[in-house]
Structure 1
Amino acid sequence: MNKIVFSLFLLLSIFAFTAGGCSDKVDKGSKVGDTEADNYDVSKDIQRDMSIQEYNIQERKKLATVRFACDTIALMEYVLANYPEGTYLVDFDRTFTYNIPKSAVIYQKNNEGQYVFGIIAKSWSHDPRLIEMKNIVGYDASYIDLDSTELGTAFFYLTLFKGNEKENTFDTLWEAGIPSHGGFNNLTLEKWEKKKMPYVKANFHYAQGIGHFDYNFFFVDGMLKKPHLLLTYEGINFKRIMTDANGDKYPDYIEFKYLDTGERITVLDSVTFIWKDTCYFNTRNPKQFRYY
C-alpha cells in the first residue's frame, strides 16, 4: 500500500514539475508571439500583400486556357507594378463559393486599339491597414461603411485603360471615383435607350437596406472623356430611377418618398431632380441639390 501511495506521489510530483516547466516556456514564448505571431497582420505588411497578389496572378495564369496581349492577367500585373501598395483590380462577387474569380473588366475594341474598363480599389494612404478583397466585395462587405477603419478603407474607381498590344502594357486614360467603400457586385455595359448613349453600371450591394446601389457612368462627351455619374438605387423603403426630364444630354432622376410604419410600406410622393451645370437640383425646391 505504501509503495502504491509513494508511486502516485512521485507521478504527481513529476507531472506538476513538468507542467510548471511548460508553463514557464509558454509564458516566455507568448511574449514573442504577442509581438510577432499573435499580432501579425498581413494587411499591414506591404511586402506580404504584394507576394499574395503575385501568387494569385500566377494561379490565374495556370487556369487560363487562352492568353492574348493586354488581357486581364496583364492588367493585373500592370496594376501591381504601377499603382500604390494595397491597390487591386477588383473581382466580381462570386455567385457560388467555389467559382473561379472573375475580374471586373469590360473590353472595348475599335480602330484606335483596345480599351479596358476596370474597377480599381485603392487603400487609403492615411490608413496603416491595407484593404483585402474579401472585405470589399460581396453582400456582407456592404456593411464595411460601419467599421471601415477596422478593415482598411477602400476607394473605388472606374478606370479606362488603353492597351499597348506591342508592349503588352497599358496607359491610364482617366479614372472616376465611386462613392462607396465596399459591397461591390458587378460591372456591366448598358445603353440609355432614350438617347442611344452607352454607359457603364457598377452595381453594389446594400445589405443594411436590403437593396442595391447602381453607379451609372454616362459617356456624354464620348468614351475617352471622363464620364458623368448618376446614382440610382432601390431597396425595401427607398428608390431612385433614371429619367429624361428636360431633354438635354444628361440623365435626370426621380426620387420616391416612402412611409414605413414597420408593418406596412407605402409610397407617399416622388420628386424629380434635373442636372444643371454641376449638380442635380430638386425641381420643387432648388435649394436642395445632389452632386450625383
Structure 2
Amino acid sequence: MNKIVFSLFLLLSIFAFTAGGCSDKVDKGSKVGDTEADNYDVSKDTQRDMSIQEYNIQERKKLATVRFACDTIALMEYVLANYPEGTYLVDFDRTFTYNIPKSAVIYQKNNEGQYVFGIIAKSWSHDPRLIEMKNIVGYDASYIDLDSTELGTAFFYLTLFKGNEKENTFDTLWEAGIPSHGGFNNLTLEKWEKKKMPYVKANFHYAQGIGHFDYNFFFVDGMLKKPHLLLTYEGINFKRIMTDANGDKYPDYIEFKYLDTGERITVLDSVTFIWKDTCYFNTRNPKQFRYY
C-alpha cells in the first residue's frame, strides 16, 4: 500500500514539475499584442489585398478552358488595375460550397462591339477596413447592414463596360449605384413584356425578413444611357411588385400592406406608386414618395 502511495506521489510530482516548466516558457515569451504579427490586420493591408486578387486571377486562368478577347478574366484584371484598392468584380453566390466561383457579368454583342454588364463592389474610402468577397456575397452576408463597420462597407454598382478587343481592355460607359451593402445573389437579363423593354435584375438575399430584394435597371433610353432603377421585393410580411399604372415608358409598382400578429400574417391593403419626374409618388397620398 505504501509503495502504491509513493508511486502516485512521485507521478504527481513529475507532472507538477513538467507543467511548471511549460508555464515558465510561456511567461518568458511574448504576450498577446506585443508583436507586429499579433496586431496585423490583413483587411487593412492594401498590398496584401491586391496580391490575393492577383493570385485568384491566376487561379482562374488555370481553370479556364476557353479564353477570348475581353473575357471575364480580362475584366477582372482591368478592375484590379484601374479601380481604387478594395474593389472587386463580384461573384455570384455559390449554389454549392465547392462550386467554382462565377463572376456576375452579362455579355451583350452588337454591330458596335462587345459590351459587358458587371457588378462592381467598392470599399468605402473613409473606412480603413477593405471589404472581402465572403462578407458581401451570399445569404449570411445580407446581415452585414447590422455590423458593416466591423466588416468594411461595400458600395455596389451595376456597371456597363465596352470591350476593346484589339487591346484586350475596356472602357467604362456608366455605373449605377445599388442601394445595398451585402447579400448579393445573382444577376440576370430580363424583359418587361408589357413594353418589350430589356432590363437587368440584381438579386440580393434579405435574411432578416426571410426574403429578397430585386434591383431592376430599365433601359428606358437605350442600353448606352444610365438606366432607371425600380426596387421590388418579397418576404414573409412585405411585398412590392412591378406594374404599368399609367402607360408611360417607366415601370410603376404596387406595395402591399400586411398585418403581422406573430401568429398570423394577413394582407390588409395595397397601394400603387407612379413615377413622376424624379420620384415614385403614392397615388393616394402624394406627400409620400420613394426614389426607386
Could you tell me which residue of structure 1 aligns to residue 160 of structure 2? Answer: 160
* 3-state secondary structure, aligned to 2:29: helix
Of residues 1-10 and 182-191 in structure 1, the stretch that sits farther from structure 2 once superposed is 1-10
CA deviation vs aligned residue, 1:68-98 (integer Å, no higher than 9, x gap): 0000000000101111111000000000000
Change (3 A) 1:58 1:265: same
Q: 1:27 to 1:116 in 2, by over 3 A?
A: farther
CA 1:46/1:27 → structure 2, altered by over 3 Å: closer, same or farther? farther
> C-alpha distance in 2, partners of 1:179/1:116?
21
The within-5 A match list for 1:15-94 is: 22-31=22-31, 34-94=34-94
C-alpha deviation, 1:110, in angstroms: 0.5
Give the root-mean-square deviation of aligned CA atoms: 2.2
Gap change, CA 1:84 and 1:29, over 3 Å in 2: farther
Q: Compared with structure 1, are the counterparts of its residues 4 and 192 closer, same or farther at alpha carbon in structure 2 (3 Å cutoff)?
A: closer
SS at match of 2:35: helix
Q: Percent identity?
A: 100
Partner-residue secondary structure (3-state), 2:149: coil
CA 1:258–1:25 in structure 2 vs 1: closer, same or farther (change >3 Å)? same
Distance 1:140 1:2 in 2: 63
Does the C-alpha gap of structure 1 residues 36 and 103 become closer, same or farther in structure 2, counting only changes over 3 Å?
same
Displacement of 1:26: 2.9
C-alpha deviation, 1:173, in angstroms:
0.6
Which stretch shows the higher mean deviation, 91-100 or 28-37?
A: 28-37
Report the Cα distance in structure 1 between the residues aligned to 2:120 and 2:135, rounded to whole angstroms.
Answer: 14
Q: How many angstroms apart in 2 are the aligned matches of 1:206 and 1:145?
A: 10
State the shift of 1:25 in Å: 4.3
- Counterpart of 1:119 in structure 2 is 119
* Cα separation, 1, equivalents of 2:35 and 2:130: 19
Residues 75 and 9 of structure 1: CA distance in aligned 2, closer, same or farther (over 3 Å): same
Instruction: Pick closer, same or farther for the CA change 1:125–1:27 going to 2, 3 Å.
Output: farther
Change (3 A) 1:4 1:238: closer
* Paired residues, number: 292
Query: Over residues 99-147 of structure 1, what are the superposed CA-to-partner deviations in whole Å (9 max), with x where a residue is unaligned?
Result: 0000000000001110000000001111111100000000000000000
Q: Distance in 1 between matches of 2:40 and 2:122?
A: 22
How far did residue 45 of structure 1 move?
Answer: 1.1
1:244-290 CA-to-partner distances (Å, cap 9, x unmatched) read 11111100000000011111111100000000111000000000000
* Aligned-residue offset at 1:8: 9.8
